[in-house]
Amino acid sequence: MALDRKIAYIDLTTGDIQIKPIPLEVRKKFLGGRGLDAYLLYNHTRKGCDPIGPDNTLMVSGGILCATLASATSRCHVMAKSPLTGLLGSANMGGFFTPEMAWAGFHHLVIKGKAKHPVYLFIHNGEIEIRDARDLWGLSVTETQWAIRDKLGDQEVKSMVCGPAGENLVRYANVMTGIKNSGGRTGMGCVMGSKNLKAVACRGTMDIKIAHPVEALEFNKRFIGQITSAKVNQTQGTIGTPFIWGATNSWGGIRCRNFQYNQCEYADDIEPEHLDEIATDTCGPYHMTGCFGCQVHCRAKYKVPGIGPYAGIYDEGPEYTSQGAFCGETDTPRAETLLVANHLVNQYGVDNLEIGSLISWAMELFELGILTTKETDGLELRFGNDEAVVEMIHRICQRKGWLGDALADGGVQASKKIGKDSFSYLIQVKGMSNLHSDERATPALALNIALASRGSDHLRSRPAIDLYHLPQEVMRKIYSNPVPYDGPLSSEHTEYIGKPWQVFWHENCYMAVDCLGICKYHTTFLGATLPNFEDWSKVLYYNTGLQLTPKEIWEVAERCNNMERLFNLREGLSKDDPEKGDVLNHRYHDEPTRRGAPDVVGRVIEKDKFLKMRAECYGHKGWDENGIPKPETLKRLGIGNEPSHLA
C-alpha cells in the first residue's frame, strides 16, 4: 500500500544507510511530502548549522498520494536549511521522479553529511546505493540525466539532479528533473552541491496496493472532470501559464525595471499568443506536455527560433515566471531573450525568479551610479539590454567576475558587498527576492508574501482568486470550509478587510496539497471551483485507507505550518527584521504605482493597515503579537514537545 513506502536515512560522510517504516502516528500527524519534511527538518537539523556545511540535512519526498490513482500527484518536495536565507529552505516540482521513487519503495529520504567526492544515489526496488559521480560533475541538468540512464542501461530511470549552478554553490541553485521541472526557490540545488551529491536516480517496479481501487477510480473520474472543465485549466492546457502574464501585465500588476513601474510596455512579442505560435511552429500542433497523472498539460515544448548560437535548441516552458524575470523586470520583452534565458536557467539549474530579480536590481543600481563599469567588468548593465541579461546569467552561474560572484550569494549578501544604500532597492522578503508581481494594489497578496514561510512567495498562501471579485455567497462557501468563519469578507481586491483570514485559509489549503502531493493547479489557487478539503478526505481514504475528516486535514496543515514557523524562529526570524522578518520593502509603502488600470494607478500598501492585517493573521494562526506560536496552540496541535524524533 501507499502507507508501506519507506523512509531512508543516508549519511554521505560514512556511507551508512538505514531504511525504516514511517510510523502510522507520524503519518496521521503530518501525512507526507512537505509537512513530514518540515517535521524531519526540525528534528534532524542542528540549530544554527551552516546551510552549506555537512550538518545541514536534505529531505527529498513525495506526497502521501504519490503514484496512486489520484490525479496529478507527482509533486516532489525538497527541504533543508536555505543557503540563500538562513531560514526554511523548501522547493516543490512536478514531473515523473517521485512516482518512480515510490515504485522503488520510498516516500522520504533524509540525507546527511558530505561525500568525499561527487556521488549519486541509485534507488531500486527497496535498495539504495551510493555510486561514484565524478564523471558526471560539470554536466548540465539534462546531460546528467541522460548520462545516468546510459550508465545504468535503462532509459526509464528518473533522476533529480543539481546542475553547474549547484556545483558552484550559487545560493539559489535549483534541484531539477526532466527538461525543466524545477524545484526552485531557496537553493536546494546548492545544498546538493555542497554535499557533493550530483543526483538521486530512481527505478522502481514495486506495486502499490490501492485500499479501495474501484471507489478510487470512480472518484478520480469525477475529480478529473472537475479539473478539466475549469476554464483556467482549459486555458493553461492550450497556451500554458504565460496566459497569467498576459492578463496581469495588461492590468498593471507586474514589476518592470526592478520596482520603478508596474507594467511592461511594448510587450507583444512575449504575449502568450505569440509564444504559442512559436511553440506550434517549432514543435508542431501537439506542443503541450505535462507531468505524471495530469490531464491539464500546462507547459509548452519549443525550439529557440532565429539564427543565433542557441537557434534550434529544444526546451520546455517558458512559465510566466520567466516572462517576468527575463522580460518584465529587466524591460527586455523580446521572445528570443525569453526563450534563451529560460533554456540557460534550465541547464544551469538555477532559480529563474531569483536570478532575474537580482539582475534587474543590479540594473537599477547601475543606472543610479551605485554600480559602475568597474564592478561589471565593462558591461553596460542597463534596462533594455538583452545581451546583458543573457551574459549575467552565465556570469552568476559560473561565479565569473566580481559582480557575478557577488550576486551568486543572493541579494542580502551582495548588498553588504556593494553598500551605498543598495539594500533599500532590493525587493525581497526574508532574504528571498520577490516574484515579478507588484502587490501594491492587492493587500491580500502583499500580506501573503510578507508572511510566507520561505520568503516572498506566491505558492505558500496567495489568495489569487481575490482578483476574481467573487460574489459574497461564493466566498463564504469557500472560506468557511472545513472550519467555520463568520468574520468579514470583501470581494474588492483593494480592500484590507477580511484578507488575513483569506491568507490563513490559503496557507492551510496549499500546505494540505503539498502534504498529499497534489499540484496546486488542481485546487483553489487559480480556480474557485476546483477540489478542496472535502475531496481530499475522500481521495486519501480511497487510495490509502487512511481516514481523516476534512477538518483533520486542515489541522494537519496547521500543524505543519507551525513546524515551519518553529524552525524559522529557531534560526533567527524576528517579525520586524528587514532581512528575516514578516515585512515588505519600504517602496511598497512609499512609492505609488505609476501605470495600469484605474484601480491600480496610485496605489501603495498603507503601512498602518498592513500591520493591522499582520496582527490579525497572527491571531488566526494562534500566534502572539510577536508572531510566536502560543503554547496552547502547540499543545492543541500536538507539537508542544518537539523535537520528538518519532521518525
Domains, the chain, ordered by start: 2-203 (3.60.9.10), 238-433 (1.10.569.10), 443-636 (1.10.599.10)
Q: State in Å, rounded, how far the first CA of the chain is from the last one.
A: 19
What are the cell numbers at 531?
A: 477540489
Q: Which helix (H) or strand (E) holds 243?
A: helix 242-251
Plot region of 202 (φ>0 → left; ψ -120 to 50 → alpha; else → beta)? beta
Look at residues 133, 482, 527, 629 and name the one whose alpha carbon lies nearest to residue 298. Answer: 527
d(Cα 506, Cα 517) in Å, to the nearest integer?
A: 16
Q: What does DSSP say about strands 76-81 and 88-93: parallel, antiparallel, or unpaired?
A: antiparallel
Residue with cell 496549499: 510
Of the ranges 168-177, 241-250, 472-481, 523-532, which one carries the lowest mean pLDDT score? 523-532
pLDDT of amino acid 226: 81
Across 312-321, 362-371, 427-436, 581-590, least confident range: 312-321
Calculate ∠ Cα 21-25-29, nearest 5°: 115
pLDDT tens-digit readout, 296-308: 888 889 999 987 8
Residue percentage of the chain with pLDDT more than 70: 100
- Cα separation, 350 vs 370, in Å, equals 26
Average pLDDT, the chain: 95
Q: What is the pLDDT of residue 111?
A: 98
Classify strands 17-21 and 6-11 as parallel, antiparallel or unpaired: antiparallel
Q: What is the mean pLDDT of residues 248-271?
A: 96
The DSSP call for residue 71 is T
Give the per-residue pLDDT at 437: 94
Angstrom distances, CA of residue 76 to CA of 32, 187, 375, 456, 509 = 11, 15, 39, 21, 17
Q: Once rounded to an integer, what is the mean pLDDT over residues 77-94? A: 98
In this prediction, residue 18 carries a pLDDT of 98
d(CA 197, CA 390): 28
**Sheet architecture: strand order including 288-289:** 288-289, 299-303, 314-316
Residue 227 confidence (pLDDT) above 90: no
For the cut 90, the answer to whether the pLDDT of residue 402 exceeds it is yes
- In this prediction, residue 601 carries a pLDDT of 97
pLDDT score, position 350: 98
Q: Please report, rounded to a whole number, the percentage of residues in the chain having pLDDT higher than 90.
A: 87
> For the whole model, what pTM was predicted?
0.97
| Bridge partner list, 110 | 9, 59
